[in-house]
Amino acid sequence: MSLLDTITSPQDLKELSTKDLPALATEIREFLIHSVSKTGGHIAPSLGVVELTLALHYLFDSPKDKFIWDVGHQAYTHKIITGRKEQFFTLRQYNGISGFPHITESPHDALTVGHASTSISASLGMAFARDLRKETHNIVSVIGDGAMTGGLAYEGLNNLGHSNTNMIVILNDNEMSIAPNVGGMSTYLTKIITDKRYTRLKSNIWNTLDQIPASLGKKLQHLGHSIDDNLKKAFTPGKLFEDMGIKYLGPIDGHNFEELFHVLTYARDENKGPLLIHTLTKKGKGYEPAEINATKFHGIGSFDIESGEVRKESSQKTPSWSSIFGSTLLEIARKDARVLAITAAMPNGTGLETFEKELPQQLIDVGIAEQHGATFSAGLALAGQKPVFALYSSFLQRAFDQIIHDIALEKLNVVFAIDRAGLVGADGPTHHGAFDLSYLTTIPNCTILTPSSAEDLKDMLYSALYEIEGPVFIRYPRGTTPAAPPAYAPQGKKEFLPQQVKTLPGAKVLLLPVGDFLPTACAVQEKLHSAGILSDVTSLRCVKPLPHDRLYSLFSAYDTVITLENNSLINGAGAQLLQVLQQGAHRGALSHVPKLLSYGYPDRFIDQGTQEELLQELGLAPDPLTEKIIQDIRA
């Protein structure tokens, strides 16, 4: 029996000798590589923190002690140790375990996560609550250097440093982006600082200085502090944290059990107040393809272990929405140096990898900092540039106030390319783009465009940059476009009116799909026809502003209007169209008032699964959707 087979809980781990831990780490890496190669997932981050995770669970007492994993990409070993190994084949699958920590999945998951930079603030809240209840358990936040590019992390650190609260922050530095390993001096200082004898000696020295006459004692204390500060500034990168009121230890080797045990034991037993431990780790450690290309293996689909190549489930006949966006923006930017691509640490995920290689001077990566990215784009627009901020729908939520206060209020021409609108699949509720229409439609001065084809996306991007005033939001889903003729050049159209797609003589039902829901609407039209219901299909490509007069004329021709959207029904496109219908009826602008039926996402968080599985569950796949429409029409 392998060591890993004996582990079903943190208590089982504690039964092992510390000498067994390196072998266990190797087994866990082998298990992760084998398992994630089938399911896909965030393997490189998790391979990098195996030793750190084992050390934490060996020395601390979860779930009494709380581990808060920032973002959660690195939590796979944590899941294995806490009894979820046998479920790992369901990772990120429909009805399976989440790819992130989730409080409903295990008592060992102290916080549901998926977005960056939240762990320190949440941990500090837990620590304050613990102190108010006179409890003594440990609170440990594990945050990567990437998440430290987000401003929320520093807001949490600032509060922590002034709180004098007993809390541990582990900075998992897997890219050395904050500081390189400064070698023996830093290790030596860390060992001295964490040595019990040193702690007592330091306390005795300061107590002795307190007994010296005030004027001389203060001078000696000032000299001692000055020497201490300058040594840390010269030899360690932790001066920033020390100045914030947080004790800093490190950097230490995050793959060395001896170093980890030494520092974490001190943190558990001796330290008082805020403490930051800086660990250096190798992203993708133990799997050569992931070590060589950590970006590729940060989040990956199923792959071949030997080659490291992603398995292709089916031939991709058309380009992805992301690639159409990226190639079109590159085409425009080649001719106009004012056009700048902005990304929040995701050039590859948003289709900008080729842009970055060809026009690096026109691409700005602001880090995992969507709030900053939005206001940064506002500054660019005010200075005469043409910023295009490409980000995922779920991450756009983080910049809501900046969109209102810094962009829309001033009617600045900032273009937002909203990728992953709608259901994203395996990453689940923290990543579905289910709400952008609901909140963006409330903001004045904005234009919201929803392309139904690659040609639409090209035209919309061009018009957003050169023909439409104010902020423009272009939203499109994960996946491939319905069609993409490669020779199609972007054209300015300024207005994107409802576009008639398929009509049937005598139709009294109108299917009005929003953007990429067009193929579903066409499939539903055929099924309705088979059931004896004639319908027309018109694509809604602009959700704001809506062309009221055009819609009044359109609505008047039908008995039933059906809206389909990949967004929450609450304040979504259907709700906007209902307002138009009500206003038209009130004003007498419609010759005939139809029934309006809207279909979209329900008022709940949607779980993980493939897009097809989730659409089936929600009743938005063609077959169940057609059945529901027939019932509602005949009701």
Q: How far are the Cα atoms of 330, 421, 548, 580, 587 from residue 365, in angstroms, in the given order?
A: 16, 21, 39, 40, 49
How many Cβ atoms are within 10 Å of 1's Cβ, its own excluded? 5
477 close to 456: Cβ distance less than 8 angstroms: no
Catalytic residue among 398, 420, 541, 544: 398
Sign, CA torsion 20/21/27/30: negative
| Tokens standing for residue 124 | 């500090």
Task: Please name which of 517, 445, 46, 600 lies closest in space to residue 284, comparing C-alpha atoms.
Answer: 46
| Rounded-to-integer distance, Cα 518 and Cα 502, Å | 10
- Packing angle between helix 622-634 and helix 518-530, nearest 10 degrees? 60
Of 51, 370, 455, 565, which one is the catalytic site residue?
A: 370
**Rounded Cα distance, 271 and 236, in Å:** 19
**Binding site feature residues for Mg(2+):** 145, 174
Whether residue 84 lies in the annotated active site:
no
User: Cα(5)–Cα(258) distance, rounded to whole angstroms?
Assistant: 24
Angle at 184 (CA atoms; ends 179, 186), nearest 5 degrees: 50
Is 338 a residue of the active site?
Answer: no
Q: What is the pLDDT of residue 154?
A: 95
CB 50 within 8 A of CB 30: no
604 catalytic per annotation: no
Please compute Rg for the chain using Cα positions. 28
541: closest CA among 568, 573, 583? 573
DSSP one-letter string for 302-344: SB-TTT-PBPPSS---S-BHHHHHHHHHHHHHHH-TTEEEEES
Q: In the block, which residue shows the tokens 């779980």?
A: 607
Q: How far apart are CA 316 and CA 402, in angstroms?
A: 37
Which of the 8 DSSP states describes residue 490?
Answer: P
The set of residues, in sequence order, having a beta carbon less than 8 Å from that of 147 and lying 6+ positions away, is 70, 71, 116, 117, 119, 153, 368
| pLDDT at residue 230 in the model | 58
pTM (2 d.p.): 0.89
Q: Which one, of 519, 556, 404, 541, lies nearest residue 474 by Cα?
A: 541
In contact, 632 and 596? CB cutoff 8 Å:
no
CB atoms within 10 A of CB 226: 10
Q: Which residues make up each annotated binding site for thiamine diphosphate?
A: 73, 114-116, 146-147, 174, 287, 370
Phi-psi category of residue 113: left, alpha or beta, with phi > 0 → left and psi -120 to 50 → alpha:
beta
Sheet holding 167-173, edge to edge: 66-69, 139-144, 167-173, 274-280, 247-253
H/E element holding 350?
none
Bridge partners for 363 per DSSP:
341
The full set of domains in the chain, from first to last, is: 3-203+237-297 (3.40.50.970), 321-475 (3.40.50.970), 499-634 (3.40.50.920)
Name the DSSP letter for residue 406: I
Query: Between the CA of residue 200 and those of 21, 33, 197, 207, what are the distances in Å?
Result: 31, 46, 5, 10
Please list the rounded mean pLDDT of every run of 10 residues in the chain (635 residues). 95 97 98 95 95 98 98 96 96 96 97 96 98 97 93 96 95 62 44 55 58 61 58 65 94 96 97 95 94 89 92 76 97 98 95 97 96 98 99 98 98 99 96 98 98 95 97 97 71 85 96 96 97 97 96 97 98 98 95 96 98 98 98 94
**Half-sphere exposure of residue 373: CA atoms within 13 angstroms, side-chain side:** 32
Q: How many CB atoms lie within 10 A of CB 439?
A: 15
Count CB-CB contacts under 10 A for residue 338. Answer: 13
For the stretch 77-87, what's the b/e string if a residue is b when 16 or more beta carbons lie within 10 angstroms of its beta carbon? Answer: bbbbbbbbbee
Q: What is the pLDDT of residue 482?
A: 87
Distances (CA, A) of 450 to 16, 54, 387, 498, 558: 57, 47, 19, 11, 23
Which residues sit in the known binding site? Answer: 73, 114-116, 145-147, 174, 287, 370
Q: Rounded to whole angstroms, what are the CA distances from 355 to 64, 67, 112?
A: 48, 39, 34
